[in-house]
Structure 1
Amino acid sequence: MSHKPTTVNELGEFTVLIDARSPAEYALDHIPGAINCPVLDDEERRIVGTTYVQVSAFEARKIGGAMVARNIARHLDGLFHDKPKEWRPLVYCWRGGMRSGSFVNWLRLVGWDAQQLKGGYKAWRAHVIEQIEQRAPQLQLRVLCGPTGSAKTRVLQALATEGEQVLDLEELAAHRGSVLGAMPGRPQPSQKGFETQLMHRLTSLDPARRVWVEAESRRIGRITVPEPLLQRLRESPVVEIAASPAARLDYLLRDYAWLGDDPQGLADKLGTLRELLPKEVLAQWQAWALEGALPLLFEALMAQHYDPLYARSQGRHLAGLPAAQRLQCEDLSDAGIQALARRIASLP
């Protein structure tokens, strides 16, 4: 049972991945599939750090050592009490230092073939960045564009049911990419968490087959699309959904109906546009929001905000837009979206 440095390329050789960092660090981002078994919780980590700065490294290690021992004992008594001798855990902390090292030593004393991830989470983070940089330029992207209300996200989902490869960036970012784009009940991940999910998705795609993706700006809510992927998206061939205004409005009223459940929240969201709109226009839109007059509000948003924004941004950012294949569409019902997806999937 050798004790050797383990790299991110060997993750699949272990029974379980153990993230020994604090819960807050784990929540920010972690290796997919890892379980959080902190050797210091958030408050303990704060106490040790403060002691290190204000007293001494020795006192910090003395206090921290007792905390680490108690927490490891708790994990041994609880989550690990029934693990067989053949169980092989891989443990990591921030940079492969004392937290994961202490954990591994105790697990090995028990008799398990525990190993420590060389470089810790920082090594994983470098791996994520490297993989995105390598894989994004290889993607055979086909970009779906169209003004707000063209059901692009739903079309992506329908394309997946037709056997096409899709990359749904808004699903990964938990945001629809507009002023009203926050998803109810789904906070956005951290930037690092988004990039980990993105890398995981990229590794599942076949680079020899086309991948459908929605046209996105540099930011999706507070998430930034990594530059290698953004550049690949902007230089790729484009398919434009040319849906009628009536079909788009009908779709928006169905897809964003939940906004009517919180009139004040909707009015507050619209307030973020105050720098872009005349005061009287914003006041009218917020009044419609408070009244629940969504048809009037959404129609005005399309005509006076989203469509002009689309006209300005897409031509600047999508090199393939002048040569785009345009598909007319008068029906964005569920059946209409599925039919549109079939038309797109049949394109050469």
Structure 2
Amino acid sequence: MAERQAIEQFLRGQGVLVDVRTPAEYAQGHIPGARNLPLFSNEERAEVGTSYKQQGRQQAILLGLERVGPKLAELAQALQDLSREVGGQPLGLYCWRGGMRSGSVAWLAETLELPTRLLDGGYKAYRRWVLALMEETWPVHLLGGRTGTGKTDLLEALAQRGVAVVDLEGLAHHRGSSFGGLGLPEQPSSEHYENCIAAALDQLRSAPEIWLEAESAQVGRCRIPAGLWRQMQSAPLLEISRPIEARLDQLVAVYGGQDPEGLAEATQRIARRLGPDRTKAALEAIAQRDWRGACRQMLDYYDRCYDHELQRHGEQDRLRMLGAEELGRLSAAEAADQLIGRQRMRLMLEKGSLGSTFV
């Protein structure tokens, strides 16, 4: 019989995780890395659910067996393929509540002599774990800066050097502006976004600092979990700055290769905020493939948005990493090395390992 495991044991176990819920349930949110092997299609589950409400549990079970029966051989083959893929390690099965669907698939796997384990409480228990994890206290540090200062590149460079980083924009598949989704995959649901953030944080429990980019409450259509957002509001913020020409270089590098129609549509979405003159100038620049000119029209608006958000954070929690001219000459890798060096010195000072002359 498959072992039922609590969430922590289940997540840390070996083998592949298998979500046996419908494709629609899986798309709404799942344990990151889990594979979808649905017992029912979206329509079949709706049909079984209606039968349960109208005719009772036994009739619903009979209808479910009727729908699953013709697919048993195909399902069995898929289980065998997954098991071979992970070298015979246990298949971690879960459904919504850890009940009949995962139990039925576990029975089939065991009939095939494939080792399995079940998530006690199912995906519903996992979601409770995710929301509770967001309420834990995390050593959050924010990296801020106006549009085009290369915050994402700097975070990536820090991560490559072993610094704990959660890429909120990368997980959301969005850069956080009207133009933020251009050229990126479709965004996850806010529910699955929470799951991805939870998975990232869970891997960083021993980190002395966890760096995030200073964001609004939403990254595109993905909402940052409330518990984490509250901590971000009071976290220390390190603000970086670059000269405007360097920022324009950065923006052209990111957006210059995007579809002009997509850029024009994104510009139209913020036309009221840009104002008629800037909108007209931006659209004309896009039509002429003058990416630098188009980006220049946007900066005033986005700078005002950033400055407004920054005012709410509080001056006492801010410090500047480097002056604009100095940082403008550094690559993301060089800036990351400087930041790591300064943070190490700060920690040594706090521990009394350095003299008080360090500033």
* 1:310 paired residue among 303, 306, 313: 306
Higher alpha-carbon deviation: 212-221 or 271-280: 271-280
Residue 203 (structure 1) aligned with residue 167 (structure 2) = no
Question: Residue 282 of structure 1 corresponds to which residue in structure 2?
Answer: 279
Q: Distance in 1 between matches of 2:288 and 2:81?
A: 59
Residue 339 (structure 1) aligned with residue 334 (structure 2) = yes
Q: Pick closer, same or farther for the CA change 1:209–1:30 going to 2, 3 Å.
A: same
Q: Distance in 1 between matches of 2:215 and 2:34?
A: 30
Question: Residue 168 of structure 1 corresponds to which residue in structure 2?
Answer: 167
Question: Residue 123 of structure 2 corresponds to which residue in structure 1?
Answer: 121
Question: Residue 224 of structure 2 corresponds to which residue in structure 1?
Answer: 225
Aligned amino acid, residue 171 of structure 1? G
Q: Distance in 1 between matches of 2:230 and 2:72?
A: 46
Residue 18 (structure 1) aligned with residue 23 (structure 2) = no
Aligned ranges 1:22-61 → 2 under 5 Å? 22-50=22-50, 60-61=60-61
Question: Residue 296 of structure 1 corresponds to which residue in structure 2?
Answer: 293
Q: Distance in 2 between matches of 1:302 and 1:182?
A: 18
Q: Pick closer, same or farther for the CA change 1:32–1:39 going to 2, 3 Å.
A: same
Q: Distance in 1 between matches of 2:68 and 2:174?
A: 38
Aligned amino acid, residue 122 of structure 1? K
Normalised by the size of structure 1, how large is the TM-score?
A: 0.87
Q: Pick closer, same or farther for the CA change 1:322–1:52 going to 2, 3 Å.
A: closer
Aligned amino acid, residue 307 of structure 1? D
Q: Pick closer, same or farther for the CA change 1:87–1:246 going to 2, 3 Å.
A: closer
Normalised by the size of structure 2, how large is the TM-score?
A: 0.84
Question: Residue 319 of structure 1 corresponds to which residue in structure 2?
Answer: 314
> How far off its partner does 1:60 sit?
4.3
1:193-234, Cα deviation, whole Å (9 max, x unpaired): 111111111112144522222111111001111122222222
Residue 269 (structure 1) aligned with residue 279 (structure 2) = no
Q: Pick closer, same or farther for the CA change 1:241–1:37 going to 2, 3 Å.
A: same
Q: Distance in 2 between matches of 1:18 and 1:159?
A: 33
SS at match of 1:239: strand
Q: Is 2:23–2:38's contact at 8 Å kept on the other side of the alignment?
A: yes
Unmatched runs of 5 consecutive residues or more in structure 2:
347-359
Residue 93 (structure 1) aligned with residue 95 (structure 2) = yes
> How far off its partner does 1:3 sit?
5.5
Question: Residue 74 of structure 2 corresponds to which residue in structure 1?
Answer: 74
Aligned amino acid, residue 124 of structure 1? Y
Higher alpha-carbon deviation: 73-82 or 182-191: 73-82
1:95-131, Cα deviation, whole Å (9 max, x unpaired): 1232222222333444455443222110111111112
SS at match of 2:292: helix
CA RMSD of aligned residues (A): 2.8
Residue 234 (structure 1) aligned with residue 233 (structure 2) = yes
Aligned ranges 1:180-191 → 2 under 5 Å? 180-191=179-190
> How far off its partner does 1:335 sit?
5.5
> How far off its partner does 1:61 sit?
3.5
SS at match of 1:163: coil
Q: Pick closer, same or farther for the CA change 1:249–1:83 going to 2, 3 Å.
A: closer
Aligned amino acid, residue 101 of structure 1? G
Q: Distance in 2 between matches of 1:8 and 1:82?
A: 22
SS at match of 1:90: strand
SS at match of 1:346: helix
Question: Residue 130 of structure 1 corresponds to which residue in structure 2?
Answer: 132
> How far off its partner does 1:27 sit?
2.5
State, as a whole percentage, how many aligned pairs show the same letter. 32
Question: Residue 153 of structure 2 corresponds to which residue in structure 1?
Answer: 154
Q: How many residues in Structure 1 have an aligned counterpart in Structure 2?
A: 340
Aligned amino acid, residue 194 of structure 1? Y
Aligned amino acid, residue 20 of structure 1? V
Aligned amino acid, residue 289 of structure 1? I
SS at match of 1:165: coil
Q: Pick closer, same or farther for the CA change 1:71–1:123 going to 2, 3 Å.
A: farther
Q: Pick closer, same or farther for the CA change 1:105–1:78 going to 2, 3 Å.
A: closer
Q: Distance in 1 between matches of 2:117 and 2:148?
A: 51
Q: Distance in 1 between matches of 2:115 and 2:225?
A: 37
Q: Distance in 1 between matches of 2:3 and 2:82?
A: 25
